[in-house]
Amino acid sequence: MSDIEKQSQVADSRGRIRDSTSTYTSSNVLSSADEHLYDSSSSSESSVEGGTKAYLTVFGAFLALFCTFGLMNAFGTFQAWYTAHQLDTLHASTISWIGSLQLWVFFFSGGPVGYLFDKFGPRMLMGVGTLCYVLSIMMTSISTQYYQYILAQGVLFGLGVGLLFYPSLSSVSTHFVKYRATATGIAVSGSGLGGVVFPIMLQNLFERVGFGWGTRIVGLLCGVLCGIAVFTVTASARPKAKPSMQSTGLHCLKDSRYMLLAAGGSLVALGCFIPYFYIVDYAQSLGISSNMAFIVLAVMNAGGVCGRVAPAILSDSLGRFNLLAPTSFIAGLLVLVSWTFADTLATLLIFSVLYGFFSGAFISVVTPCIAQISEIHEIGIRIGLMYSIISFPALVGGPIAGLILASNHGSYNGMIMFTGTSIIAGSLLIFGAKLLINPRVFARV
């Protein structure tokens, strides 16, 4: 055989190898969406999993979320107290604007905070966030007028939470790939634990030392814990983004998977937090004592602790979108079925723990889902932008529920129907995003 013929056969062989490799890669992307995250230049980074800095980051993020999102989950305690004391002349839907505004500021800050995280890392942002967060609690403790609560507990508190929440969670995502959802779930479980501790703590402090000192004690405790978080949360080295539209993460607005996930997340957020805001008032409307009503909220948040961890761990094996869509659907179904017929303490506790579990799964798994369809250098901006998008439905969800409650003359049926249908509709859109990634219904995505 001549040398020319040999070279021709070698070239043909290489071409077939490239073709088969391309075919294999294409099918592998469909079966495992995580492969979309990295190219060959970042393969060495993706192989790094865990380590001391990574575990300290999870620990610090756990503390940050315990204080921030955990206290936010306990807003029902503040709303019930305001209704009976400082703001007793205002309607519940008016008071709920405080909680809705802090949610909106927190969510909306995600875009700019995520962009700053990708440029500067977590420490500076979390340091400023700790100052804003503690200051907001101290100002809330001395507030007496509605506008003061709006500014302190609504705007400033929401900003402080955003500056602590997004850098800590985004940092966790940079340290893990294979077990990203598990690590995120452990960190986010801090918010559920905070939601268990704070309602009981606040109620007891309010009754023993008064609202002002009770709030200040919580603020001082959280200031110490957030300070620890500032010094333990770090981000792994990330490849630099190219100076283009892509470097801002705005090209994700052309990503149909991302936008469908954002639309589904928006509808889920529209209804997801309503039970946390109104479950205390609902329990008291059934004749349940004030102390036990706060226990109901604590039980809901206790269910959220498990819901933030167990589904996240399972999602690393079964697929993150595969867990996010059905758990959101079940959460909405529980609202329509279980909450509607919860007319005793026992049935209300059952609803609370189950809803806490399945709604907690949304909170913990949605972030890994965003990271799964993002390049590593834009994880921060994409996570933040997603939360900015869903900030608007989160803002109006509570007040809309209050208006529905008022229009039905105190009957909760309309509010329950609105909450459940919103969450279910959102879960269907999330499922649509999963199908865009891989059209096979049972594929691991």
pLDDT interval class at 406 (50, 70, 90): confident
Kindly report the number of other CB atoms within 10 A of residue 439's CB atom.
Answer: 9
Q: What is the pLDDT of residue 154?
A: 94
For 5-32, the pLDDT digits (tens) are 444 454 454 444 444 444 433 334 333 3
All domains of the chain in start order, with CATH: 49-234+245-436 (1.20.1250.20)
Long-range contacts of 238-245 (CB under 8 A, 24+ apart): 238/118, 238/174, 238/376, 238/377, 238/379, 239/41, 239/42, 239/45, 239/376, 239/377, 240/377, 241/118, 241/377, 241/378
| Backbone dihedral angles phi then psi of residue 429, each to the nearest 5 degrees | -70, -35
Predicted confidence (pLDDT) at residue 190 exceeds the cutoff of 80: yes
| Backbone dihedral angles phi then psi of residue 125, each to the nearest 5 degrees | -65, -45
The sign one gets for the Cα dihedral 125, 131, 134, 138 is negative
* C-alpha count within 13 angstroms, C-beta hemisphere, residue 443: 19
pLDDT interval class at 301 (50, 70, 90): confident
Q: What is the pLDDT of residue 100?
A: 85
Q: What is the pLDDT of residue 249?
A: 55
For 201-225, the pLDDT digits (tens) are 998 999 999 999 999 999 999 999 9
Predicted confidence (pLDDT) at residue 445 exceeds the cutoff of 50: yes
Tokens of 429: 């859109």
The sign one gets for the Cα dihedral 397, 398, 399, 404 is positive
* pTM for this model (two decimals): 0.75
